[in-house]
C-alpha cells in the first residue's frame, strides 16, 4: 500500500515533468491506497484547460469521473442513512442526505485534503485561480471517488467516503431514534414463557472504521429474524423487530386455529 499523496505526487510529475508544482506534504487523515490504473488517478485531477495545454496527452478531463462519482456518493450516503435511521421516513432521509451531500460540504472536504494543489491545469486555468474554486474542489472530490470506484470497487470508494464525509460530518444529522425492539422482544418472550432470545452475528465484513454486520435472532431452536447495519446495535434492533413481528404473527395464527 502506498500513501495516496505520494502516489498523486509521482503521477503528477510524470504527467507534467516540466511543470513543477508545490504539493502539500500530507493528506488530512492520511488515506493509503495504491491505484492499479495511474491514468484514472491522472484523469481525476485533470481540468479541461490542461487538456488544451497538453494536446499530446490522451487523458480526458475529470468531468466523466465527476459524473460517476456523484452517483457513487449518493448511493453510499443513501445506504448509510437507510441503515442508521431505520424508522426515518423517505422525506426525512432525503433531507438528511441533502445536508450531507452538497457542494459546500464536499468542497470543504476537498480543501482540507489539499486537492486543489493536485489539480492539473493549463495556463488559462492557472490564470483564473481555479485551485481555490469551491465549485472545482467539489468536482474533483466527486471525480476522485469515481476513480476509486472504477479502480478498487465499491468497498474502496465506501471506505474513503466514510473516512472523509460520513464519519466527520454526521454532526449535521439528528441523533438516531431507534426504538428498543430488543427490550420489547425480551418482554414478549417472558410473557409467553419462551426461551430468552439470543443474538448471533452471522456475517461481518469491512475494515474497523467501516464495518457491516448481519445479526440473527434465535429463540429456542428456531431462527425468527435477521437484521443488518453498520453497527451491531442497529443490526440487533432490526433483527429484534423482525423477530417480534414473526412471533406475534405466528401466535395470532395459532390462536385463530385454536378458536375454530
Answer yes or no: are the C-beta atoms of 131 and 118 closer than 8 Å. Answer: no
* Strands, sheet with 198-205, edge to edge from the N-terminal-most edge strand: 198-205, 212-219, 222-229
Answer yes or no: are the C-beta atoms of 20 and 117 closer than 8 Å. Answer: no
**How far lies 193's CA from each of 188, 190, 258, in Å?**
9, 5, 19
Q: Is 56 helix (H, G, I), strand (E, B) or coil?
A: coil
**How far lies 30's CA from each of 44, 58, 71, in Å?**
18, 30, 24
Q: Which one of 66, 70, 139, 151 is the catalytic residue?
A: 70
Q: Is 223 helix (H, G, I), strand (E, B) or coil?
A: strand
Can 142 be counted among the known catalytic residues?
A: yes
Exposure on the CB side of residue 123, measured as CA atoms within 13 A: 3
Q: Which one of 66, 83, 139, 142 is the catalytic residue?
A: 142
Q: Is 59 helix (H, G, I), strand (E, B) or coil?
A: coil
Cell readout for 200 is: 448471533
Owner of C-alpha cell 473516512? 163
Name the residues annotated as catalytic. 70, 142
Amino acid at each position: 500500500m502506498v500513501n495516496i499523496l505520494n502516489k498523486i505526487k509521482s503521477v503528477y510529475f510524470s504527467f507534467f515533468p516540466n511543470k513543477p508544482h508545490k504539493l502539500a506534504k500530507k493528506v488530512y487523515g492520511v488515506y493509503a491506497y495504491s491505484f492499479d490504473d495511474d491514468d484514472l488517478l491522472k484523469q481525476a485531477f485533470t481540468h479541461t484547460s490542461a487538456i488544451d495545454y497538453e494536446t499530446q496527452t490522451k487523458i480526458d478531463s475529470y468531468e466523466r469521473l465527476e459524473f460517476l462519482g456523484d452517483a457513487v456518493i449518493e448511493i453510499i450516503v443513501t445506504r448509510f442513512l437507510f441503515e442508521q435511521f431505520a424508522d426515518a421516513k423517505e422525506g426525512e432521509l432525503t433531507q438528511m442526505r441533502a445536508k450531507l451531500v452538497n457542494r459546500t460540504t464536499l468542497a470543504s472536504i476537498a480543501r482540507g485534503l489539499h486537492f486543489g494543489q493536485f489539480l492539473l491545469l493549463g495556463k488559462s486555468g492557472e490564470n483564473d485561480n481555479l485551485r481555490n474554486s469551491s465549485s472545482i474542489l467539489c468536482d474533483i472530490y466527486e471525480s476522485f471517488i469515481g476513480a476509486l470506484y472504477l479502480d478498487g470497487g465499491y468497498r474502496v470508494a465506501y471506505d474513503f467516503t466514510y473516512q472523509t464525509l460520513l464519519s466527520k460530518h454526521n454532526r449535521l444529522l439528528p441523533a438516531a431514534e431507534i426504538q428498543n425492539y430488543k427490550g420489547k422482544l425480551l418482554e414478549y418472550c417472558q410473557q409467553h414463557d419462551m426461551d430468552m432470545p439470543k443474538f448471533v452475528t452471522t456475517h461481518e465484513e469491512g475494515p474497523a472504521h467501516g464495518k457491516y454486520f448481519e445479526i440473527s435472532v434465535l429463540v429456542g431452536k428456531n431462527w425468527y429474524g435477521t437484521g443488518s447495519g453498520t453497527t451491531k446495535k442497529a443490526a440487533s434492533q432490526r433483527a429484534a423487530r423482525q423477530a417480534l413481528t414473526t412471533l406475534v404473527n405466528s401466535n395470532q395464527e395459532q390462536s385463530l386455529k385454536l378458536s375454530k
